[in-house]
Every structure is written in C-alpha cells, then in structure tokens.
C-alpha cells in the first residue's frame, strides 16, 4: 500500500490495524468514545471501527474537539530518524546468540510484523531471517578455528543444536564446517588464467558458481592470491566446459554494463553482503562515495567499514567496487590497483556517452 492510497478511509483503517509508521505523516485517527486522536502507528489498543474518525492532520483533529494521545504524541513533529533507529535496534537484536522471532522483534520496536519485515528489507536489502542467519554464520566462522570440535563451534555460534545447522550445512559457510575449519580442504575449485582488456585475469569456480574474479599484471600474482583465498582447497586447471563460462566472464569484464548470466558463489559477512548489494545498484558510468553507500545501507557512520568491504570483494567488475570514490570525487584505493580503477571508470564513462 503506497502513501497515495491513504485517501480512502478503508485504507486508512487498514494502516491503523497494521500500525504502519509510514502512514504517520499522512493522517491521524480519533476515537469518539475516548475523545483522543493518535498516529496510525500508535501501540494503544484498537478501538471499534464505528468509533473511529479520520483527519488529515493533528490540527484538524484538535479543532474537532479531540485531545492528542500522550503515548504517541501526534501533535508533535514525527522523528524522521525513528524508523532508522528501530531498524538499527532490530539489527542488534538479530545479532545476539539467542534466536528471536519476527513477532518478538516487532513488539520490541513497536511495529507490526508485516511493516517491520517490509521496512527492514527496504533498508538493509535482507529479510530479518537472512540477517539473523548471516550473523550466526559470522559467529560460526569466528568460532571454528578455535573450537575443539565442529559441534562445539556450532553451539557457540548460537545454533540451538547441531542438527539445526547440519540440515542446511554448507549453505551457511559456502562449504562444510569441516572444510572451512581446514581452510577449504577437500573443496574443489576450478580456475583458469586468461587475458582481458585490463590485463591478466583469473576466474575461479566452485560447485556453487563463480567464486573469484581476480586481476593482475602477471599470472604468478593471480595464482598466489587464489592460494591465499583458498589455502587448502583442491585447485584444478580449467577444462573445455569451464572455458565457455570463463569466456562469458571475460565478455562481461570487457563490456561495461553487461550483466553476467552465471551463478555466483558470494561469501561474506552480513555487512559485506549489504555493501556488495549496494555496489551492484550503481549503474555503469556512475560513481558513489563511501559515505553514500554507508547511508544507503542504513549505517551512515560506517564509512571505513564500507571501504573494508570493498577491499574484501573477490569478484572484480561483477561486484563493481571500482565505482566507489572519495567524497570529493577523487579516486581512492582499489584492490587491483588505482591505475586499473581509473581505466575502468574512464572506459565506462566513455561508453555511456556514446
């Protein structure tokens, strides 16, 4: 339901029933039996529909003889940062070890479950459940190297039991817990060294999809970086079938704005996933500042963390971290070299103009 649909009383009443915060600046409602008017998001007990009247604003309700609710204070300016603060609070709750339901989250921050789910996804790009799972996976990654057994790490990360983890197993880490603990041991990764407009390129693929696109001036640097990323994985050279997919990756690298139509194996923390999703929304030929990305994901103070997430990107060009620049428009660091970053931006800008 968009803001423009709050003109009809039936839509306004539905917004009241859902306690929608996005309707707070659109109208107020008054209860005849109490003589009080409220915001649509007010947490007070709902009155009967026949006792409710709607007004365009607090002034109109007051002129009709109603008093402002002391709980939701509809006669005061709405705090525009309120929703962002609530979403931030929800993120912190989801990152705790103890699982929490959507209903419990909604009650804690004073929103309906439906509205919380929709607004949370709009702000973060993830559902509350996905955020909670990503936070749990982050704890698991931290716990695995230091735990005596995989089960100990699973329980330390906040899984209620080992069975609840193993039902989805390697979806949490991108590999099994034992493989992660052993640096990717037993994991098969196929890779190919090739050439693109930006120099030498390495394309790697796991059984889930393209897991690395690396750029460098020589092949020794590329293979060294791949070994660093997957120190104990079973690395295999490309074959004929994989070569076709490598060619598609190269075509994407050489043609700004082209979308790669291959599955990706993206691994990162919940925060990194947010940043990388925001980067993919930047069109070819345009740039955004680190501050703008931080603001877009609802964390305006996390500028340094955004820069770190860009530096952790393993999928060059496909996740376009080269389109992020300093606040003054000047180029900043780039995992694969500032010169290459300048070349990328110049090439994309030129193709957008033609």
Q: Contact at 8 Å (CB) between 320 and 333?
A: no
- Could you say which of 42, 91, 201, 321 is catalytic? 321
Other CB atoms within 10 Å distance of the CB of residue 163: 9
Which pair of tokens denotes residue 141?
């990654």
| C-alpha to C-alpha distance for 147 and 311, rounded to whole angstroms | 28
Q: Whole-angstrom Cα distance, residue 221 to residue 189?
A: 18
Return the residue matching tokens 């005061």: 76
Rounded distance, CA 314 to CA 222, Å? 12
Residue among 26, 38, 42, 310 flagged as catalytic = 38
Give the integer Cα–Cα distance in Å for 64 and 67: 9
Output b/e per residue, 218-239; b: 16+ Cβ within 10 A: eeeebbebbeebbeebebeebe
3-state secondary structure of 211: strand
Phi then psi for 289, rounded to 5 degrees? -85, 160
Q: Is the dihedral of CA 256, 259, 262, 263 positive or negative?
A: positive
Q: Is 72 a catalytic residue?
A: no
> Euclidean distance between the first and final Cα of the chain, in Å?
40
The CA distance from 352 to 346, in Å, is 10
Q: Active-site residue 310, yes or no?
A: no
Q: How far apart are CA 42 and CA 200, in angstroms?
A: 59
- Is the distance from CB of 279 to CB of 324 less than 8 angstroms? yes
Helix extents (H) in the chain: 9-17, 58-63, 82-94, 102-109, 113-124, 128-143, 150-156, 162-166, 177-181, 219-229, 240-254, 270-279, 290-296, 303-311, 338-353
Give catalytic residues, as residue numbers.
38, 321
């Amino acid at each position: 339901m968009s803001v423009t649909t709050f003109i009809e009383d039936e839509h306004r009443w539905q917004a009241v029933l859902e306690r929608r915060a996005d309707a707070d600046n659109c109208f107020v409602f008054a209860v005849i039996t109490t003589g009080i008017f409220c915001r649509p998001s007010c947490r007070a007990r709902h009155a009967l529909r026949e006792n409710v009247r709607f007004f365009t604003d607090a002034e109109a309700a007051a002129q009709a003889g109603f008093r402002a609710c002391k709980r939701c204070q509809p006669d005061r300016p709405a705090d525009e940062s309120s929703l962002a603060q609530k979403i931030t609070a929800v993120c912190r709750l989801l990152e705790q070890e103890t699982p929490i339901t959507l209903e419990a989250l909604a009650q804690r921050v004073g929103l309906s479950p439906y509205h919380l789910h929709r607004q949370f996804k709009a702000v973060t790009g993830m559902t509350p459940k996905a955020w909670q799972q990503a936070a749990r996976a982050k704890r698991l990654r931290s716990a695995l190297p230091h735990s005596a057994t995989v089960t100990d790490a699973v329980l330390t990360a906040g899984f209620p039991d080992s069975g609840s983890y193993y039902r989805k197993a390697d979806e949490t880490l991108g590999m099994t817990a034992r493989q992660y603990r052993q640096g990717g041991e037993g994991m098969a990764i196929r890779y190919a060294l090739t050439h693109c407009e930006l120099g030498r390129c390495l394309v790697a693929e796991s059984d889930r999809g393209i897991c690395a696109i690396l750029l460098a001036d020589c092949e020794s640097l590329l293979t060294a970086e791949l070994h660093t990323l997957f120190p104990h994985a079973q690395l295999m050279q490309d074959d004929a079938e994989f070569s076709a997919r490598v060619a598609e990756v190269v075509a994407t690298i050489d043609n700004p704005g082209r979308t790669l139509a291959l599955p990706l194996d993206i691994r990162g923390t919940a925060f990194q996933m947010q940043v990388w999703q925001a980067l993919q929304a930047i069109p070819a030929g345009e740039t955004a500042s680190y501050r703008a990305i931080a603001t877009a994901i609802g964390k305006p103070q996390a500028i340094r963390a955004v820069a770190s997430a860009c530096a952790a990107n393993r999928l060059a060009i496909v996740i376009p971290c080269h389109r992020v620049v300093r606040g003054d428009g000047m180029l900043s660091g780039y995992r694969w070299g500032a010169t290459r970053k300048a070349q990328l931006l110049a090439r994309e800008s030129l193709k957008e103009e033609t």
